[in-house]
Amino acid sequence: MSNTDTDSSDQQYNGKIISLPDKLILRSKALSIILIERIGSSDDDWRINRGDDCYVTAKVSDTDFIKKMEEGTEEVARGEYLAVELETTQTLSIQGKLTVSFEITKILQHSLFAKDSDTAVSKK
């Protein structure tokens, strides 16, 4: 495979590979619809479902949305669906340990539908 083939193939992905001496890091960002299962006390403690019946913990780094929650102008609830930019980071250590973390970098649409919206949360 030539370098041009590799380059054109890489353009279809929204992410990057970081190669370090002791680990390999793959970071990618995608649009996603998520279901909120639990909102923790900190911004890095939201439990979400990405539609695959696998619940994961995600950090929320959308400062604009967090600010609106703190001001009380936005509320989110367990059972609510959001359209988000979701960044996935996979790290493979030299020892062979694979870890995955998730970060909601931007909340694009809020209040899509609610499965059970009786537990609204704001940070006010």
Is the pTM above the cut of 0.85?
no
- Distance from C-alpha of 85 to C-alpha of 28, rounded to nearest angstrom: 10
How far is residue 99 CA from its own chain's centroid?
A: 15
Check if the beta carbon of residue 28 is closer than 8 Å to that of residue 102: no
Q: What is the pLDDT of residues 36-86, one digit of tens each?
A: 999 887 767 899 998 888 899 999 999 999 999 889 898 888 899 999 999
What's the confidence (pLDDT) of residue 45? 85
Q: What is the pLDDT of residues 89-100, one digit of tens each?
A: 999 999 999 999
Q: What is the pLDDT of residues 30-49, one digit of tens each?
A: 999 999 999 887 767 899 99
- Distance from C-alpha of 99 to C-alpha of 26, rounded to nearest angstrom: 11
Instruction: Decide the pairing of beta strands 76-77 and 120-121.
Output: antiparallel
